[in-house]
Amino acid sequence: MALVLGVDPVAFAREFEATSRERFTGAYGDLPNTIRVITWRAGGDPTDEQVQQATTVREGLSRRLVDAVPAGTLATLAELRSAGWRIGLVSNITAHTELQWPASPLPPYFDATAFSTQVGAAKPDPEIYLAACTALDVPPSSCVYVGDGRDSELQAAAALGMYAIRTTEHADSHPAWTGPTIASFAELPAVIHLADLAGQ
């Protein structure tokens, strides 16, 4: 994206990361305007054509990521649902990725979603976790939360009373986490003692 936009990749990456909360809560509007703002912050002044090219690059990456769901993950989600679990997704997500969500393989497995762009809050803010709990009609203390640990998500979930589990399958964002950890989502049913906790 930086090369397309004609700015230093290091500066662009720095500003991209620095604006994560704004991107997750939709503060900059649609993807083209978000890219334009980040490029300005990185010292560039992109043309409309450059912004469109960068938008296409980013949309392609997002599409590949939301579509690349391991078969084992889908099988585990199906197993949990069949055992009586209600499943919610708490996600720091950008507006353009949210638009790609419905066409991904995942929606049929979830009873509720709490997207940062919809809630107006991003992890680790309690509001986004509680929005998912409300949608599922369960208290935080009855929830198991699984994440790689980015954005202090595990500590925030645990502080609300959720049973927090770190997964390292796709990213090891919180190696200092001392709580339960799984290397594959397929390990989840065994870790949460599926037969004993189903339906809670």
Could you tell me the pTM of the whole model? Answer: 0.87
Residue ranges of alpha helices (H) inside 84-187 are 95-100, 116-119, 126-136, 153-159
The amino acid at residue 165 is: I
pLDDT 10s digits, 159-190:
999 999 999 998 889 899 999 999 999 999 98
Segments of the chain assigned to CATH 3.40.50.1000: 70-197
Q: Is the pLDDT of residue 66 over 90?
A: no
Q: What are the two backbone dihedrals, phi and then psi, of residue 97, each rounded to the nearest 5 degrees? A: -70, -35
Q: Is 164 helix (H, G, I), strand (E, B) or coil?
A: strand
| 28, 5 Cβ separation under 8 angstroms | no
CATH class of 70-197: alpha beta
| 76, 106 Cβ separation under 8 angstroms | no
Q: Which two tokens stand for residue 88?
A: 């919610």
Q: In whole angstroms, how far apart are CA 171 and each of 16, 148, 149, 167?
A: 19, 6, 9, 8
Res 29: pLDDT = 92
Q: How confident is the model at residue 196 (pLDDT cuts 50, 70, 90)?
A: low
